[in-house]
Structures are given as structure tokens and as C-alpha cells.
A and B are shown apart, each in its own frame.
Chain A
Amino acid sequence: MFKRKRSAEDFRAEIEAHLALEAEDLRGEGLSEDEARWKSRRQFGNTRAAEERFYLRGRWVRLERLLRDIRFGLRSLWQSPGFSITAILTLALGIGANTAVFSVMNAVLLRSLPVSDPANLVYLRTSNPPRGTGTIDSNQTFSYAVYDALRHQGRGVAPVMAFVPLSGSKVAVRFGALPEEAEGDMVSGTFFSGLGVSVPLGRGLSEQDETDHAPVAVLSYNYWTRRFARDPKILGATLYVNSVPITIVGVSAEGFEGVEGGGSTDFWIPLQNRPELNAWGNPTEDGKLYVANPTWWCLRMIARLAPGTSRKQALAGLQPLFQSAAYIGLGSPMEGERPPVLSFSDAKSFPGLEQQYGNPLRILMAMVGLVLLIALANVVMLLMARNAARQREFSLRQALGAGRMELLRQLLTESMLLVVAGGALAWAFAELATRLLGRWAQIEASLAPDKTVLLFTFAIMVVAGLLFGLAPLRTAMAGKAELALKTSTAASNTDVGKSRSAKTIVTLQMALCVVLLVAGMLLIRSLRNLENTPLGMKVDGLVVFGLKPNFTSLQEGRAFYLKLIDKLRELPGVESVTIMEERIGSGWSDNSDMRVDGKLPDVSDGASRTVRNNVAGPGFFTTLGVPVLAGRDFADSDTPTSPHVGIVNEEFAKRFLPNMNPLGHTTGNDNGEYTMTIVGVVKNHKYRSIDEEPIPMAWYMYAQIPIVGPMQVELRVHGDPLAILPAARKAVQQMDPNLPLIRPMKQREQFDTTIADHVLFARLAGFFGFLGVLLVATGLYGTLAYRVNLRTAEIGVRMAIGARREQVVWMILKESMLLTILGVIIGLPMAMLVGRALAASLYNVKPLDAGSYLLSILGIAVVSLVASAIPAARAASVNPMRALRME
């Protein structure tokens, strides 16, 4: 039998019928008409509650209720679009900034290497290299001899893996016809098996490959995708690396981009033993490759601890082995020489990144944390204002029978809706910001937000949602049902003590804002200092590019560059031409101890003996525009057969030849194999980067030393420096059609790359400071505007009894000024602490830089003035008659 479901109307009709029957019975008992009706209702109790229970019977109660709450919440938010949009945008900015910075931090600092069991992997570090060695990084690189000893005799570690790039930047490769560039590493045969990285396509490398120096390569998944469109037939194809044919034998697992920090490796080949594929793309030194050169510490090492071995045990086992291996081929340590000490460092994250980005990222994270706090506080204040204004609504609803639970549920639903909308927008915002950040910082590691980031954002959203639901509850609940009967807005808003909490929040926001502003200001001033640092040369008008020709003999190399310089000098628009081994402003330098007058110089008060040196061509300093203080520049007349000459800088002369005329003294490399006579002293200038301190420097003449390899060509031209490149490329290709110009750019740009991190950091910090100020301004404006609104009646009364407009304006301004001053007083000590934490990231700015603090205080004062001006003006324009009549 089919029966239609009973309707709610029918149920209500039944209740009405009940009331009528009851009233009639009561009248029969002698009550009056009105009394009877009233008493029947009273006896029944809450008819709405009964109807609701009828309605809810047997339904998906919770879901239905939730949907209803959401619909109601949406309607209620829709009714005040200004509030909703402000709250959602504020949240999106706060949460988005946090998500963005956190996902970078997660990718750069927290994420593990995509290898199996990363906890048991360690990078090998040394306290210092032995005397007489050249290094890539004095703590992270080792000689081949050390690697060889550790991997064969090391106990407690299995295996020890070495890895070294084929070039400081990118290496020339060719697949098919055109030359191109890629990042390639030479690695141990145990590299893939030891790290536990799978090679799903083809095969990985083997120890036999390393022994044979087999010409085989494994591509990274990324490179395979980017360059070869995931063509599985690529296996067996030939990739020419520096013209050496290499067979592609495998493609590594997706997500693995090598263990080099920052960059991503495109392919790996076994450690090689041929001059075209020397470590770091360097030319051979006295005919020796990295494999045979114990004075060149150029390999990085990573090791897996043997199962069941602790780090301490493994280190204890390796230490004596390392300390003896360190001196293989170097002779015995000098008396009093500090022996190098081996140590391990976590290989959980990428090497170098922590060093480079660790502190800035943590500071940025703290800054966006403050931004988030300010944003949350803003929304809380908005909600409080809104709910206070809605008190009559709440009172009315309570009077009509809504339970407190229902009100609470509704508030929570509304805040959840805000948070979800804000969070969704934040996620989109963060995606974009992260991509921009990644491109800006040139971090190639994947920054795509992962589960950790999602969880982080979700946690913020939950906290925000609860905060927003609960914080305004007190205000909302304070309204009793009776309040609805109070008809005056002024009266209904007076008995709630919420103004003090709003003031406290604004004051704290001001304090946080001072911290943000000071941090941003310090970093931006540092950036200005960096950007305005004199380089010690006339950098405008210079253009630089690299060349990596292959030579079979020293003579061929020298002849090549001699001819190249001649050809380039003839190009129209070229003022002068020179070459150098290390590109200046690239962050790289050759460092070593040097002999002065045949012996290692004595240095007073523990100063370093390290000399930063470079190999230069004729007219080097003239081209760069570095003043020659004494003697002369290198010249065409300095040839292999003429007396060997060198040039040093002021700092060199001051430290090693104090109070003497340096001209005529000799200097040379620290094993005494090469000596040159100092013929010139040049003014100190920047070599490696903009932020370096003056350091002793010395230059060899390229035509007189026994090595010649890749060089950087520097041109000084009239007009736009880059306009010369097509002509230069043509000139180069006339000499060797296969030679690309490597990373051609203005010299200025090249130097700027050395402060790119600072620039990014300072810009971000400045941006977050600005964001903080903006949020504080809107928060202050909102609070004051709301309070002025509430006090309209009061202001009206004041004006009616004779207060002048200025007095009213002053009344409002005074309040915001007081909050500002309090905020600044609380914020300053915090800002000083933050300034101290920033000290390492500052350049020529003291952590207590008065200017930054003053500007910050001025900034916040202006902001609070502007934010309070509008409410104050509105207060002044209150029409006393209307304000009083409003009720």
C-alpha cells in the first residue's frame, strides 16, 4: 500500500487543532476566552521545536542541517559583500604568503633527497684542505686520491660515492646537428645503487663502468622529458659531450635531479679519465687530470653508512684513513700544520641550499608568520564588529526560540565559509607566487607544493576557522533575548565590553607592523648599499662571453687566443678586448697560497695567506677600467718568450710586501714551479662578487703560463654592449664553426647575479613589510570606522551640547595616536631583536640602523593618521540633530 509522506503543514495543522481543543476544554473549566487560549499555548510549550523534531525525523539530519547552515551562512555573507570580500582577501593574502614561502622552504630545506633511506646518507666534509691544495669549496671537496682510499679501505661506509660536474656551469653537448648545453656530472659507478635511485628505463651505472671509464650516460627523467620527449628509443643513441661520443644507456627515476644543490643534473656519466672530460671542465694542470692531481680537491662525496653502523663509529673508522690519504702526493704535513678533520653532514636535503637560503628563508617565514597574525587579527576584528552590529539579530533569534547551539553553529559555519574561500584563493595565489619565486631565485629544484605544504595550509585554515568562530562568540552570546526589546542602537551596544579587546588587538598589530617594517627597511637599505657598491672598475660598456675550444697543444691554444683578440679588436665599435680564465662577477675564483720572493710570506696577526688569482690577457685592466696605481698593465709584448710578468692588487702589496715598492719583487704558485715578476699594482676591485671584502689578488699572463683552456672574452664597446654579439659570434665562428658563445651578457648583469639572492630576499622582505602595513591600515581603519559608527549618538550629543568639530576630530585621532604610540613602544624592542637576527644578511647596515627605525616609525605614524582620517572626518560631519533623531 502506497502512502504519501505526511507534510509539515499537516503536522502544524494538527498542533493548531490541539490548541483549539485544549482552549475549548479550558473554557469549559470556566476560564475566559483569552486566558484559555493563552494557557493552552503555554501548556504546549515550544510548538516550533515540535515541528522541527517532526521535520527532522528520519532524515539525514546532520547533512541536511549542515547544508542548511551553509546556505544560511552564504546568504548572510552575501548580504554584506564589503565585509566578506575584505575578510576573504585578507585571509588569502595571509595564508597565501605563508603557503608560498613555506613551499619554497619545504622544497629547499625540508624535503628529503628522493633516494631510499636518506637518513643513512651523509655528505663528507673536511675542516680544511691540506696546505698546498686548490679546492672548489674548502670544506666540501676532496682529491681523487682521498676518494680512492676511502672507497677501497673505508669501514662502516658502503659505498662511498664521488660526484663532480663536468663544468662550472653547463657543458657543451650535441645530439644530432646543433651544439647545445646541459648539466652533466661524473659520478662513481655505485652512484645509483648506493643512493638507491632506480633506473626504470635501461640500466644504471656499474663499478665496471667506473673502472673502464665507460662512455655511457644515464639521463635524468626531466632531461629525457624536456629534450627527448620521453622517447624510449633513445637508449643506445649517442650524445656528444665536449665532442666525446657517449652512449645513452638509461633514464633515472622521475623526481631524481641529482645531488648537486640548486641546479638539476641532466645526465650522469662514470668518472672519466680524459682531458676533454676533466672535472669542472678545467684544462689539465701540468698535463694532469683530476684523477692524477692530489693538489686539486675537486670531488664532492656522499656515503651510505653500513647497516648497523652509527655515524660516530663510521667516522672514527674513517678519520685516520682520511688523514693519511689527505697527504698522498703532497709530502708530509708541515710542522704545526692543522691536519684536516673529516666530518659528516646530513644528506637529507640538498647540499649548499641550506647555506645559501637557510637563514633568509627562515627570516621570510617569520615575516610571513607575522603577516598572517596581523591578517588573522584583522579578520577577527572585522567579525567582532560585524557580530556586535548583529547583536539585535542574535537577540531576536534567541527570543524567537533559536538555541545557543544553533547560533554557535551558524557562526562557525560562517567563519568556515570565509576560511575555505580565503584558503582556496590563497592556494591559487601561492601557486603563482611560488612559480615566480622559483624563477626569480633560479631554484631549479621542483617547488610544486606537495602533501606537506597542503597539510601546512590546511592546519592554518583550521586554526583560523576555529579562531574566527570562537573569538566573536562572546560578543554574540552576550546579547540576551531581552536585548531585542531595547530599541535603541546606542543602548544595545553599550553594555558589551568589546572595545578594549579591539584596542589591544590594534596595538599588537601596530607592534608587529613595526617589526615587519624595520626588517624590511634594514634589508632594503642593505640592498641599496649593495647596488651602489663601487666595483672598482668602469663596468658599463663591458660585455663578456665564454669560449670552450679544444686544443691539442699549448701552442695551438695560445695562437688561437692571439688571433681571436686581433680579430675582435678590428670589429667596428670595439674599444678594447681582453680575455681571462675565471669570469669576473660569476662567484667563482681560483684561490691559493702564493710565494713572494721565493717563499711563503709571513703574515702578521693571523691574516690569511690566501690569494685570489686569475689568468688575464693583454690590456686586462685597461679594458675593465681598473686604475693601475704603479707600473703597467699586461701588454701584447708579454709573450711566452719574454720575461714572465704578473700584476697584483693593493691588498696583496699591503699584506705581503708592506712598506715596500712591490714592483720588481717576484711571486708565484706555492710549489715554486712558476715565478713571475710583479710589473704592476692595481687598485682594489671586485673579482668574485659585489659583496666581497678586499682580498689579495694576483694575475698571471695567459700567454706565459703552461696551461691554456677555456677563456672568458671581455669587450669594451661603444653603445649598447649586447649589439656587438652577432659580429663577435661571426668572428669566432670564422675561427671554429662549432664554437658557441657561452652565456654572453653585460658585465654589469654578471655582477648583479652575485647579489640576486640579496635582491630577491630584500624585495620579498620589503613586500611583506608593505603587506603588513596595508593590513594594519585596513584593520585600524575598520576598527575606528566601526567605533565612530557606534558612537554616532554620543558624538551627536557632544556636538549638541557645544563640542566643536575640531574637538571631535581630535577625539578620534587621539585614540588612534595613542594606540600607535603604544604599538611602537611594544614593537621597538622586538624589532631590535629581529634586527640582530638579521645581522648576517645585512650589508653595510647596522642592525640598529637609526634611519631604518625612524623611517619605520614615521611610516606607521603616517599610515595610522591616514587610516584614522576618514573615520575622523566622518565623525566631524555627524549632524547632531540627525544623530539624536535616528532612534
Chain B
Amino acid sequence: MATQENNSDRIALLQGTLDLLILKTLLMGPCHGQGVARIIQRQSEEVFLVDHGSLYVALQRLEDKKWISAKWGVSENNRKARFYELTRKGREQLAEKTGEWRRLTRAMGLILDAGSEPLGEEA
């Protein structure tokens, strides 16, 4: 059913990372869903593939948790769009999740880098 292009250099998002990316994107200011998708894709240098359906479901989930709030507005090119904004609770969550993510990537890096020297990279 998915009609997404299957580009091999794109990586499907890890479970649970989408929430973090959305929160981070909204830190820069209110934005609508399509904008969030574009920003994530562009800032990850087109590596992340955002399933739009999942994105809107995730936005709704975050709204339900009151981490973000939403209201209908008008986009820069005068189109109707639903704009999302971080709440105070959302900012706290972003800080917390970012810390968690840093710890996770550091730990992953420690493990992955530990064995890399004897193997060599190009040899």
C-alpha cells in the first residue's frame, strides 16, 4: 500500500525518534505539519524519510499529551494550515528527551568505536 519512493539511501525513522524530531523542529517557532516534514527531511540532508501519515498521527499524539498546542492559521503563501507550537510541558520534554538521546548515542558510539581500530577502515 505504501507508495513512498523506496530510495536506498534513506533511512526509516527509528521508533520513538519522530516525537523528538517534531519537538526539536517546533523549538524554532510554530509550524504546520507539512513544514515540519520538510524541515526534518532537509535538515537531515534528505536521509530521514518521514511517513506523512505517521507524522500527523504523531502530532495528534503529542497534542493529546499537551506537549504541543495547535490552532488553524494562514501560511506564508496564504494557505489554510494547522499550526503547532511547543507548550511549556513540551519544552521540558524536549530537554529531557534530548538528554536521553545524547546518552544513548554516546553509549552506542562507545561500543561501536571500541573495536574499530584493529579492523581498520580502508585496509
Interface, chain A (partner B; CB < 8 A): 6, 11, 13-15, 17-18, 20-22, 24-25, 42-47, 49-50, 53-54, 57-58, 401, 403
Contact = CB atoms under 8 A, between A and B. Distances in A.
B57 A20 contact: no
A18 to B, nearest CB: 5
B27 interface: no
Interface string B51-82: 11110110011011000000000010101111
Given A43-B52, A49-B1, A53-B53, A21 B60 contact: no
B53 A58 contact: no
A15 B52 CA distance: 9
Contact of A21 (B1, B3, B34, B57): B34
Query: How big is the B interface, by class?
Result: 20 to 34
Nearest to A51: B53
Nearest to A403: B1
Contacts of A24: 77, 79
Shortest Cβ-Cβ A-B pairs, 5 listed: A50-B53, A21-B34, A44-B52, A18-B34, A14-B82
B94 to A, nearest CB: 22
Contacts of A50: 52-54, 56-57
B101 to A, nearest CB: 25
20 contacts: A6-B60, A11-B56, A14-B33, A14-B56, A17-B81, A18-B32, A18-B56, A21-B32, A21-B34, A21-B35, A21-B75, A21-B81, A24-B77, A44-B53, A45-B51, A46-B2, A49-B53, A50-B56, A54-B56, A57-B57
A450 B4 CA distance: 58
Contacts of A14: 33, 56, 81-82
B38 interface: yes
Of residues B34, B35, B61, which shows the largest number of chain A Cβ atoms within 10 Å of its Cβ? B34
Given A6-B60, A42-B3, A46-B2, A22 B34 contact: yes
Contact of A57 (B1, B38, B60, B75): B60
Contact of A20 (B3, B51, B64, B79): B79
Contacts of B38: 25
Given A21-B32, A21-B35, A43-B5, 9 more contacts: A21-B34, A24-B77, A42-B3, A43-B4, A45-B2, A45-B3, A46-B53, A47-B53, A54-B60
Given A21-B81, A25-B38, A53 B57 contact: yes
A45 B56 contact: no
Nearest to B63: A6
B1 A46 contact: yes
Contacts of B57: 50, 53-54, 57
A401 B1 contact: yes
A17 B32 contact: yes
A17 B52 CA distance: 12
A57 B81 contact: no
A634 B17 CA distance: 111
Contacts of A403: 1
Contact of B60 (A11, A18, A46): A11
Contacts of B60: 6, 11, 54, 57
A551 to B, nearest CB: 97
Nearest to A46: B1
A6 B81 CA distance: 15
A566 B51 CA distance: 109
Contacts of A53: 53, 57
B57 to A, nearest CB: 5
A20 to B, nearest CB: 6
Given A25-B38, A401-B1, A17 B82 contact: yes
A21 B73 CA distance: 13
Contacts of B61: 57
Contacts of A13: 80
Contacts of A6: 60, 63
A45 B61 CA distance: 20
B33 to A, nearest CB: 5
B60 to A, nearest CB: 6
Nearest to A53: B57
Contacts of A57: 57, 60-61, 64
A58 B57 CA distance: 12
A14 B58 CA distance: 14
Contacts of A20: 79
A706 B37 CA distance: 115
A431 B37 CA distance: 65
Of residues A13, A21, A47, A50, which shows the largest number of chain B Cβ atoms within 10 Å of its Cβ? A21
B79 A17 contact: yes
Contacts of B52: 18, 43-45, 50
A112 B61 CA distance: 60
Contacts of A54: 56-57, 60
Contacts of B4: 43, 45
Of residues A14, A42, A43, which shows the largest number of chain B Cβ atoms within 10 Å of its Cβ? A14
A29 to B, nearest CB: 11
A27 to B, nearest CB: 10
Contacts of A25: 34, 38
Contacts of A45: 1-4, 51-53
A21 B36 CA distance: 12
Contacts of A22: 34
B33 A18 contact: yes
B6 to A, nearest CB: 12
Contacts of B1: 45-46, 49, 401, 403
Nearest to B36: A18
Nearest to A5: B64
A20 B63 CA distance: 23
A21 B82 contact: no
A44 B2 CA distance: 9
Nearest to B57: A53
A421 B35 CA distance: 53
Interface in B75-115: 75, 77, 79-82
Contacts of A15: 56
Contacts of A11: 56, 60
A46 B54 CA distance: 10
Of residues B60, B63, B64, B75, which shows the largest number of chain A Cβ atoms within 10 Å of its Cβ? B60
